Amino acid sequence: MTTVYNGNGHSNGHGNGSQERNQERYIVEDLENLTFSVHRKVFVSPEILFDEERRIFDKCWIYVGHASELKQPNDFRTRQVAGRPVIFTRDKQGTVRALLNVCRHRGALVCREREGNARQFYCIYHGWSYNTDGSIKGIPGDDAYPPNFDKKSKGLVPVPRLEHYKDFYFVNFDKDAPDLHTYLAGAKDYIDLVVDQSPSGRMEIISGVQEYDIKANWKLLVENSVDDYHLVTTHSTWLNYMRNSGVNITPAKGHMLPTKGFGIDLGNGHLTTDNPNYRGRPVAKWISVYGEEAKADIDAIRKELVTRLGEQRAARVADTNRNLCVFPNLVINDGSSVTVRNFYPVAPDRMRVTAWALGPVEETEAQRARRLHAFLTFYGPGGFATPDDVAALELAQQGYAAWREVPWTDLSRGMGNSQEQLATDEGHLRVFWRKWSELVEGKAA
């Protein structure tokens, strides 16, 4: 039987592959022949990007920021979220809000700073001003408006939905969307593994941000973030560095990497890798790259984890690393540091990436320094990993210029292994694409 995921959640058991492989069907899964194909038009087409904006970014829960970025009342950060200008702010009363950064008069941005603390948002065009809860504060010359002009109703418009899970705030532009907790499904367990690293359960975004563009379609970074198949080739420089630093990176028997890790379907299009750790974790597991002087400190962190969480849970937190993808565009890399990153398409062949380091609020200066070192040296834009990943993704995008002649991407690694999918397989990548197909190729929104 040929199974075609045609976007409406149903499979069609008809026809042979060649007939169905037309340009209007982008994701083709053939369970009989164990093939999974993605049409490369999805990486180059402006029309498909338009559909993604309406059917994915306007419908899904999209990460906007972390509560720790708004420590004081009236703190704010301005962000582009799913193409909209948004003020992520904690108002005077302490309530976290996401307000559209759009003047109610004639539409200018009312907050032009990236971040700060402000008692009001002020539009420089005609001087309308707003309180940090979004309510209207002042309108110059308001006596000129007609008698039925309702000044009170002219506050900044909040995003339709704003919810959080353990201080990770998400917005949704669909007021009828299911709640965030339901949406996150199994991804919650993996966020818990991150948050459990803090003795008080309080993690914080560490000041400073990495921002860069990649000349590649945004979906390539979803794939790349969770794809352990590319590790030994793309990241050979880093693996050599690890080897030279005395870390054992000999592949496990019958496996490409030193440990056997898994790719996991978390439901609703979310997915993760889950690997027994060989890279070390400055938060809980020492390896030689951290230097002898760090050993006692890292051992102490480990001890605190065991005391607080018990052996088993501490081992889960400390001895595995995970690259989590919350559909569609949030990735949390919980490895040698915790990197929170999201990325948006700015064109079919270009994305904008923003990445933050996350850490327990209780960390000492030395622990924080180790964390930031790891954040920079592996995932940073000049680190061991990211430049090589960017090069690979941009090469793929360049290859897609021939999408008409070489139209199909193969994502069939691990198909047929129903029991377990390795992180070096592509089963978890297929999870993303099935959800993508359901939303983009499904009925018009």
User: Footprint of Fe ion on this chain (CB under 5 A)?
Assistant: 385, 389
Residue number with CB closer to ligand FES (108 or 247) = 108
Residue number with CB closer to Fe ion (69 or 389) = 389
| Binding partner of residue 441 among ligand FES, Fe ion, none, CB cut-off 5 to 8 Å per kind | none
Cβ at position 137, least distance to ligand FES in Å: 12
Residue number with CB closer to ligand FES (106 or 114) = 106
| Binding partner of residue 123 among ligand FES, Fe ion, none, CB cut-off 5 to 8 Å per kind | ligand FES
Cβ at position 123, least distance to ligand FES in Å: 3
Q: Which residues contact 100 (CB under 8 A, 6 or more apart)?
A: 84, 85, 86, 87, 156, 157, 158, 159
Ramachandran region, residue 382 (left: φ > 0; alpha: ψ -120 to 50; beta: rest): alpha
Cβ at position 181, least distance to Fe ion in Å: 31
Kindly list the distances between the CA atom of residue 441 and the CA atoms of 28, 47, 54, 76, 177, in Å, as whole numbers in the listed order. 12, 12, 12, 37, 19
Residue number with CB closer to ligand FES (111 or 266) = 111
Q: How far apart are CA 243 and CA 221, in angstroms?
A: 27
Cβ at position 224, least distance to Fe ion in Å: 6
Residue number with CB closer to ligand FES (68 or 131) = 131
Q: How far apart are CA 248 and CA 136, in angstroms?
A: 61
Amino acid identity of residue 143, one-letter, is D
| Binding partner of residue 103 among Fe ion, ligand FES, none, CB cut-off 5 to 8 Å per kind | ligand FES
Residue number with CB closer to Fe ion (45 or 272) = 272
Residue number with CB closer to Fe ion (198 or 321) = 321
b/e map 209-230, b = 16+ CB within 10 Å: ebebebebbbbbbbbbbbbbbe
Cβ at position 198, least distance to ligand FES in Å: 41
| Binding partner of residue 54 among ligand FES, Fe ion, none, CB cut-off 5 to 8 Å per kind | none
| Binding partner of residue 105 among Fe ion, ligand FES, none, CB cut-off 5 to 8 Å per kind | ligand FES
Instruction: Tell me which residue of 273, 275, 325 sits closest to 436, measured CA to CA.
Output: 325
b/e map 36-68, b = 16+ CB within 10 Å: bbbbbbbbbbeebbebbeebbbbbbbbbbbbbb
Supply the angle between the helices 295-309 and 365-374 in degrees, to the nearest 10: 100
Binding mask 199-228 for ligand FES (x = CB under 6 A): ------------------------------
Report the SS3 class of residue 271. Answer: strand
| Binding partner of residue 389 among ligand FES, Fe ion, none, CB cut-off 5 to 8 Å per kind | Fe ion
Q: How far apart are CA 109 and CA 174, in angstroms?
A: 22
Residue number with CB closer to Fe ion (203 or 214) = 214
Q: How far apart are CA 58 and CA 174, in angstroms?
A: 6
Binding mask 96-135 for ligand FES (x = CB under 6 A): -------x-xxxx--------------x-xxxx-------
Helices (H), 109-248: 180-184, 187-195, 218-226, 231-234, 236-244
**What does the radius of gyration of the chain's CA atoms come to, in whole angstroms?**
23
Cβ at position 107, least distance to ligand FES in Å: 6
Instruction: Tell me which residue of 70, 387, 37, 80 sits closest to 235, measured CA to CA.
Output: 387
Q: What are the backbone angles phi and psi of residue 282, rounded to the nearest 5°?
A: -60, -15
Cβ at position 273, least distance to Fe ion in Å: 11
Asked if 330 and 197 touch (Cβ cutoff 8 Å), the reply is: no
Cβ at position 43, least distance to Fe ion in Å: 18
| Binding partner of residue 108 among Fe ion, ligand FES, none, CB cut-off 5 to 8 Å per kind | ligand FES
Cβ at position 155, least distance to ligand FES in Å: 13
Residues near ligand FES (CB under 6 A) = 103, 105-108, 123, 125-128
